[in-house]
Amino acid sequence: MDAKAFDAAMFEIYRRAKAEAGYTANIFLGMLNDRGGLATAKFLINSDRPSDGYTELYLKGRLDLTVEAMVVANAMWHRFFAPEEIAKAESRLRDYGFDVKSREK
């Protein structure tokens, strides 16, 4: 998989959040359009605190639609991230009660 496939997957979680959770992540969509998927994912994962979108998806019970979950649960994306970034994303998910291991593909 290449960076274009990752970008497509990022747009897909935007679409799914809107369709399945009723959450229109306009800021996330703007970031994707401005920065691309990989830069957006790295920015969000490396942020000191969860994004507003992450919090909104948590409140809706849909952490599976977060960037962190997409990156952690899909080993095909791991090559784009440093081990520390994957660990940070996994830690954030665990902090919010998301069972990462049961969702890995």
* pLDDT per residue rounded down to tens, the chain (105 residues): 688 999 999 999 999 999 999 999 999 999 999 999 999 999 999 999 999 999 999 999 999 999 999 999 999 999 999 999 999 999 999 999 998 775 544
pLDDT of residue 104: 47
Provide the number of structural domains found in the chain. Answer: 1
First to last CA, the chain: 15
pLDDT of residue 102: 54
Range of the structural domain that residue 12 is part of: 3-103
Kindly report the length of the chain.
Answer: 105
pLDDT of residue 105: 44
pLDDT of residue 89: 97
